[in-house]
Amino acid sequence: MTKQNLSESLFKPRLKQQETSTLVKYVRLQSTAASDRILSGERREHWYRMIDWLAWIWRGINPLEIQDVLSRIAVIDAERSDDHLLDTVIGYRKGNWAFEWTQQAMYWQQEALRAEQTSEAGTYWLKAAMLYSIAAYPHLRGDELAEQAAVLASKSYENAAHSSDYELKKLEFQLEGGKSVTGLLHLPPNVQEPCPTILVCTSLDNVQSDFWRLFRDHLAPLGFAMLTVDMPAVGYSAKFKLTQDTCILHQQVLQQLNQIPWIDHTRVGVMGFRFGANIAVRLAYLEPQLIKGVAVIGPIVHTLLNDEKRQQNIPSMYIDVLANRLGLYHVDEAALRLELSCYSLKNQGLLGRRCSVPMLSVYWKDDVFSPREDSKLIAMSSMDGSLLAIPSMPVYSGFNKALHETSVWLKDKAS
């Protein structure tokens, strides 16, 4: 099957797929969700999804292109699962979220095929990969259209790597019980020996390819390789459910790094974003001998998982994401709150205990997902802990500066 007709075969017009916002049946007693204007997404009235403007721009999508796709979704007159939410058009057709973002991705896929064997092909494939990933967003398990878009995102990302100056290796890690999980190892150009490596723990609503810029702009220039592994219930890890032992997949991967010839397993750091920070910090407690340092950004490790008022203030999409990752599809607010409290690293008896691994926690002021108190708790729990604040304005440059400082901090610890 050619690259060209793979998209066509996966996305034949259909009108009966279950619409994304209806996958989780969640009885919410009240909603006071506030706008979240930091990089992780802005919840806008009349949209089910959190609109990740800055994150998508950071990944390389033109803001005019984003506006164009959102406009196409907004203006269409079609049946929606919720008449008040613009991105809930039912079926794969004009106005449907997956349809419109996939159409945009296909444009760049065609450009890549036309530019084959030229230096521009990799850039076009990368644009296609990022747009296919947005088509799958927020990557809910059981969302047929999202799963198909994620397949195309992965293939486009691999094609982009073939045209780049770095090397991408798809690695299979064997797990207990005969299962396996796939990780992507990004190697900097002209590698002559095993590299110090950063294991990246992604957030709940991201896939591995979303972090390409972290590697290209921040880790590779410092000589790091980057290994990514999808969160349970997402991407290559879709067959796994998130459990209270949140780091179980990543822990088994970490234990096998001494078998990977391109990785210097004696110089491994871990980086975690949002809920990925829960995994990263847990690894620091369970595998301190294998980790030189842990850096987390906007960590979800205690307060959001334990605080009823804060849970009521986050967008419905993120509540659905949490429930979906836990394998809960019919749940009420009280039951979900009880379940989430078990994922707090403080409630599990970890955070608050002294940890020998150096840990850096990065936070935004007034972050609805992750208050400063969570970052402070992480820093205080480490024998070599540090805090870093990201200024509220300007958000974009502040985030890039924080990524740079975090990467340099990891470089120092892995030396």
Are 245 and 309 found together in one domain? Answer: yes
Q: Are residues 241 and 147 part of one domain? A: no
Q: What is the CATH number of the domain that holds 106?
A: 1.20.1440
Which contacts of 3-6 are long-range, i.e. CB under 8 A and separated by 24 or more positions? 3/109, 3/113, 3/155, 3/159, 4/109, 4/110, 4/113, 6/152, 6/155
The verdict on residue 397 lying in a domain is yes
Q: Are residues 189 and 143 in the same domain?
A: no
Q: Which helix H or strand E contains 250, and what residues bound it? A: helix 248-254
Residue 118: inside a domain: yes
Number of domains in the chain: 2
- The C-alpha angle with vertex 408 and arms to 405 and 413, in degrees rounded to 5, equals 125
Same domain membership, residue 409 and residue 350: yes
User: Is there a domain that residue 32 lies in?
Assistant: no
pLDDT (tens digit per residue) in 193-207: 999 999 999 999 999
Torsion sign across C-alpha atoms 321, 327, 331, 336: negative
**Mean pLDDT to the nearest integer, 220-247:** 94
Rounded Cα–Cα distance for residues 105 and 375 (Å): 37
> Per the structure block, which two tokens stand in for 188?
């900097």
Asked if residue 350 belongs to a domain, the reply is yes
d(CA 348, CA 305): 12
Which amino acid would we find at residue 118? T
Q: Rounded to 5 degrees, what angle do the CA atoms 84, 88, 90 make?
A: 125
Residue 44 falls inside a structural domain: no
Does some domain include residue 135?
A: yes
- pLDDT for 24: 87
Residue 61 pLDDT level (bands cut at 50, 70, 90) = very high
Residue labelled with tokens 């809930």:
88
| Amino acid identity for residue 119 in this structure | S
Q: Confidence class of residue 10 from pLDDT cuts 50, 70 and 90?
A: low
Interacting residues of 129 by C-beta distance below 8 A, sequence separation 6+ = 105, 153, 154, 156, 157, 160, 209
pLDDT of amino acid 34: 44
* 261 in the same domain as 127: no
Omega of the bond prior to 288 within 30 degrees of 0, cis? no
Looking at the fold, whether 160 and 173 belong to one and the same domain comes out as no
Distance of CA 22 to the CA centre of its chain: 22
Domain boundary among 112, 144, 164: 164
Please, what is the average pLDDT of the chain?
A: 91
Shared domain check, 153 and 94:
yes
| Judgement on whether residues 158 and 173 belong to the same structural domain of the protein | no
**Which pLDDT belongs to residue 261?**
95
Q: Tokens for 179? A: 């299962």
**Which residues lie closer than 8 Å to 28 by C-beta, 6 or more apart?**
316, 319, 333
Do 286 and 142 lie in a common domain? Answer: no
Residue 160 has pLDDT above 50, yes or no: yes
Is the pLDDT at 70 greater than 50, yes or no? yes
| Residue 334: domain span | 165-414
Q: How far apart are CA 198 and CA 295, in angstroms?
A: 10
**Residue 364 neighbours by CB distance under 10 Å:** 26
Q: 12-26, 324-338, 373-387 — which is least confidently predicted?
A: 12-26
Residue 114, pLDDT > 70, answer yes
CA of 29: how far to CAs of 32, 162, 328, in Å?
10, 50, 17
pLDDT tens-place string over residues 323-376: 999 888 887 888 888 999 999 999 999 999 999 999 999 999 889 999 999 999
Amino acid 37: pLDDT = 45
Top pLDDT among 303 and 312 is at 303
The residue among 369, 383, 368 whose CA lies nearest residue 301 is 369
Strands (E), 106-194: 167-174, 180-187
pLDDT in tens, 28-49: 554 444 444 445 555 567 999 9
pLDDT at 100 over 60: yes
Task: Report pLDDT for 33.
Answer: 47
What would the pLDDT profile of 77-92 be if each residue is shown by its tens digit? 999 999 999 999 999 9
Report if residue 38 sits inside a domain: no
Q: At 188, which CATH number?
A: 3.40.50.1820
Does residue 201 lie within any of the structural domains? yes
Q: Which amino acid, 410?
A: L
Q: Report yes or no: 29 and 333 within 8 Å, Cβ to Cβ.
A: yes
- Which residues contact residue 197 at a Cβ distance below 8 angstroms, ignoring those fewer than 6 apart? 185, 224, 225, 226, 227, 257, 263, 264, 265, 267, 268, 269
Single out the residue in 143, 164, 185 at which a domain terminates: 164
